[in-house]
Every structure is written in C-alpha cells, then in structure tokens.
Amino acid sequence: MAGSGKSGGGERQMRVLLMGNPNVGKSAVFSRLTGAHVIASNYPGTTVSFTEGHMRCDGRACRVIDVPGTYSLQPDSRAEEVAVEMLDKGDVIINVVDATNLERNLNLTLQLLKRRLPMVVALNMWDEALEHGVRIDTDALSERLGVPVVTTCAISGVGMKDLQRSLADARAGSLEFDDADRWTLVGEIVEQVQRIEHQHPTVGQELSHATVHPVLGPLIAVVVLAVSFDVVRLVGEGLIGHVMDPLFERLWRPVVVWISGLLGAEGILHTLLIGELVEGRIEFGESFGLLTTGFYIPLAAVLPYVFAFYFVLGILEDSGYLPRLGVLVDNVMHRLGLHGLTVVPMLMGLGCNVPGALALRVLETRKERFIAATLLSVCVPCMAQLAMLAGLIGRHGVLAFAPVLGSLFVLWVVLGTTMKRFVKGLTPEILLDIPPYRFPYWGALAKKLLMRMRGFLREAVPYVLLGVLVVNLLYVLGIIHWAGVVLSPVVEHWLGLPAEAAGALLIGFMRKDVAVGMLAPLNLSLRQLIVAGVVLTAYFPCVATFVVLLRELGVRDMVKAAAIMVVAAFATGGLLNLILVGVGL
C-alpha cells in the first residue's frame, strides 16, 4: 500500500478503519489523528454509528473511519454488523487494543488478521498498563502477529506520531490458525509476550467494589448525585449573579437603552428589537425584544447552567462512574422495561434532549427505544428549561423545585411501568463491561466541555432569537390571544393557569427556555409555576428533539409516543393543580 508514488487527484482516497473492543479509546485516537472533534467518554458505546474524518499519511490525504466498538466479528449485534460491513470498504486497519486487557482484545485482533487487510496494532492506554504493572513485549507481539505494534496514550497524545508513521509499514498478518483454536492461541500469545508485576488491589479497585456494593453503592450514588446537583446549581447561580448579569447590566444595558431612545421607546421596530418597557425600564428577562430577552435567555440565563452541567457530566463520564450507576439502578429500570445503562441517555437528556435522544441508539430492541424515547421527552427537562425555571421558581427557595422534579419522577415511574406492560417486545438483560476508575484527563475534559458549549450556542442562539421573533409576531397577529381563548377550558380551568399561558405552550414546541421566559411577565403564583413547569416539560418535545425522535422511532411509533405525551402531560398537570390547591398552595 505504501509508496504507490501517485499523488491524490482523481485516485480513490485510502480508507483507514479504526477498530477495536468497546471503550478502548478509539474515539480519542480518532480525534488525535484527524483533529476532528468527537465525544469520547469512559463507558462502552459512545460511538453508535461510524464517524469519518481526514488525515494525511505518507503525504497523501486519506479517510479515517471510527467504527463502533465490537468484541468479535460474529455479527451478534447491530454494532458488530456495522463493523463487519465496514471491513469490506477499508484499505488499512488500525486495531486499537486496550493494553491493560490484552487477552480479551487479542480475540478481535486475531479475527481481524484473518481478513488479510494491511493492519497496525495500537496498544492504547499504555501509561495505565505500566501503572498497573502490566509489561508487554511489543517486539515479540509484533513478530507473533506479523504486523507493526505501537504503544499509544491517545487521551494525552503520546505515541500518536509513531502510530501515524507506522501506517506506512502496515501489512497483512502472517499468523495461520484454525478458528476453533483461537482462544488457545490467544492464551499462548499472552503467555509469551505479557508479564504482570505486582497486582495488589489499588484504591480504584476498592472504590470500584464499594460503588456497586448493594448497600454502600446506593448511599454513595445519592451523595454523588446530590453533590453533582449542588455543584451545577452553585456554579450556574454564581456565574449568572457574578459574571453574566453584571456584564449585561454594565456593558449591554447602555447599548440597548441608547437604541431604545433612538427608536423613540415605542413602535413596531421597538417592540421587535427592544420589547415592552416594564415601568419605563428595559427588563432583560421580560421585555421580550430580540436584543434584550433574545440575547439574555441563551447567553446569561441558560449558558451558565449548561456550562456547569456539562462540566459535572464530563467528570462523571470520564471517571467511569456512570456504568456503575447503571448497575445500581438496573433492577428499578427493569420494572420500567429498560435496563440500567439507559440511565446514561437520560442524564445526557438533562443537558439537552437532543444528544439524549441520539444516545438511545445503543438500545437493542424496539420496545426499549420506544419506552426510553417517550420517558425522555415526557419526564426529562433540559437544562435550558431548568435554568429558566430556576430563575422563576428559585425566588421561592431551592425546595420549591422539589414538587416539579418530584412530579416528573413519579410520572416517569408510572408511565414506565405502564408502557412495560403494554408495549410488545423484549428487554434484554444487562451485560456490561465496567471500566476501571480513571482520573479525568483535564485537557480532554476541557475540550469536550468546549465542544458541547459550542454546540449549545450554535443551536440555541438562532432558535431563541427566532422564538422571540415568533412570539412577537404571534402577539401582533393576535394568535396568542386567540389560542388563550380556544385553550382556556384546559389552561384556565383544568391547569389553573392564566389564559395567556397558552402562548407558552405554543412556543414550547420551538424552544422550552423561551416558553418559560414567556411566563415571567405573567406574575404566576408558586402553584402555577409548578404546574406550568411540569406541563411544559411533559407535553411535547421541542422541535429539535422531535426531529431526532421521528428519525429514530419512525412515523408510526412517533405518533403513538406523541399521544402518550399529550395525555400524560395534561392529566398530570390537572391532577397536580388539584393536589396543590388541596394543600393550600
């Protein structure tokens, strides 16, 4: 393959396949090789469909394909089918191997060798292997397999240059063996090339056992989640109070006041750009102009919480805690027709429902995907919406949040157990590799955080601006008033909200944060805020999530899911209103 002498041009680009077991760091290798930004985390299945990028090798441009992780090439699951299909299209394989777990990884390596494609083995997580006393004779391994072997630590970038250079020496392996003897051969090779020095249990292993202990584990989980929640709240509140609010007040206010003056403080253009003055003053949260509320919602009210949330989620992901949480909640999740690891998409959904919905692809059966998608859209509020609610409900104290989250949780359990009974299909049992605990690598964590923030800004700013614009147009055209009249039996009498709140339900389909923002000028009571918060979360996903779910579930299932959402939301909202009135709120 090397030295073909011809340069790029019309010739087909060489395709490099990154293949290996789940959670060996393929995505980290991929982003190092290509400079492309992809999410890597410490749990299996981060990459659900293949990702493509470009790099230069041997002075030529070539394509790098990050194939989902597989344990073998026997097509037992969808991920494996994808991997086998990709093999037919590849020219060179980089087999990424977890050096701390050579034996298990070699099983796939040997199967790949049989395909007779030029190959290079990257012994990844080399630093961790050394730390654990694992010594591997790479020369002996290379000789045995008949392909180049390089050591790498993709997360810090060590060895990546060597890996790139080694591609020029990639060759088809020379090892001959019968498939039935594969495991014997794996054992033989491991015996020959690997030595394990001191293997006393590390702090990580002790901690690992404690966090899945049936009694200690749940206690630790409660503490971890409570601390996470508090950190998100404190960081979010802190950034708003000490950074974003002062920035808007000191730097942006003079600008919008000046513009407001130029426009003569009234007129259609003033309404669109600046919005309504509240007692003669611009209120960033309530005026509802493009330049005021339109910028304030995504940048000042929501971004700090999104930052805080993804910072904490990144630590939980990269440390390896999430699979353990998955094991702990597996028994509960099975009662809802799901298995434990579904807790990961649900947590991601708390940041934004879109990545949560995309992550549902790892689920194997239609039943699981349907239940999980419905529960995600009904019961998991996104950070944008929570941040806005925090601004409104937070005035009544942190505890005022409990009825909102509590109702959504109860709804989650009730809806899940019901769907488990009525949705046909199977929920497979959990079978999960629990990765060792790792100290998050700060560089990688910061990069992931930055990518997610950029993603949020790219999605949120235009949609929020559009949302604010649409709100104003709907007001001007009288559609919000009309919706209030038409929906008043439901909104006023059943949910106990003012008729104007109907407008928020319309806009919630565009952006939930803008919808909550529309409640700000209505001066709702705590009871009304709680009911509105729950109904706005549950009744329908925002358009971005809706599009993803439609693609993942198909039209027929999406219609069913949507019907469940609407019924569940209004039933819960009405009951909640009755209960809250009953307790005198």
Partner 1 sequence: MVTNLEQLPPGRNAVVVALGGGRGMVNRLEAMGVRPGKQVRKVSTQFMAGPITVLVNGRQLAMGRGIARRIQVDAGG
Q: Given the rule CB under 8 A, which residues bind partner 1?
A: 21, 71-72, 74, 76-77, 101, 103-104, 107-108, 132, 183, 199, 208-209, 212-214, 217, 323, 326-328, 330-332, 334, 339-340, 429-434, 436
How far apart CA 257 and CA 265 sit, in angstroms, is: 9
Helix axes 383-393, 343-351, angle to 10 degrees: 60
- Contact between 471 and 515 under an 8 Å Cβ cutoff? The reply is no
Q: Using alpha carbons, select from 350, 240, 241, 234 the residue that is nearest to residue 303.
A: 240
The CB-of-71 to partner 1 minimum distance in angstroms stands at 3
Residue closer to partner 1 by CB (options 102, 564) is: 102
Give residue 422's Cα distance to chain centre: 28
How far apart are CB 302 and partner 1 at their closest, in Å? 36
From the list 199, 123, 119, 131, the residue with the least C-alpha distance to 166 is: 119
Write down the least CB distance from residue 431 to partner 1, Å: 5
Q: Which of 93, 60, 63 is closest to 173 using CA atoms? A: 93
Smallest distance from partner 1 to CB 148, Å: 24
Instruction: State the nearest-atom distance from the C-beta of 521 to partner 1, in Å.
Output: 48
Helix H or strand E encompassing 98: strand 92-98
Least distance between partner 1 and beta carbon 124 (Å): 15
Contact 107, 71 (CB under 8 A): yes
- Owner of token pair 């930055």: 450
Nearer to partner 1, 27 or 208 (CB): 208
Q: Which is nearer to partner 1, 326 or 403 (CB)?
A: 326
CB atoms within 10 A of CB 545: 24
Tokens representing residue 2 in the block: 């090397």
Name which of 44 and 304 has its Cβ closer to partner 1.
44
**Residue 364: helix, strand or coil by DSSP?**
coil
* Least Cβ distance, residue 433 to partner 1 (angstroms): 6
Of 135 and 213, which has the nearer Cβ to partner 1?
213
Output the smallest distance, CB 219 to partner 1, in A: 13
Kind plus residue range of the DSSP H or E element containing 298: none
Q: Is the separation of the CB atoms in 221 and 318 below 8 Å?
A: no
Q: At what angle do helices 366-379 and 555-582 cross, to 10 degrees?
A: 40
For partner 1, give the closer residue by CB, 67 or 558: 67
Within 8 A by CB and 6+ apart from 103, the residues are 186, 187, 190
Cβ distance to partner 1 smaller for residue 337 or 573: 337
Nearer to partner 1, 107 or 365 (CB): 107
Output the six-digit token pair for 469: 């614009």
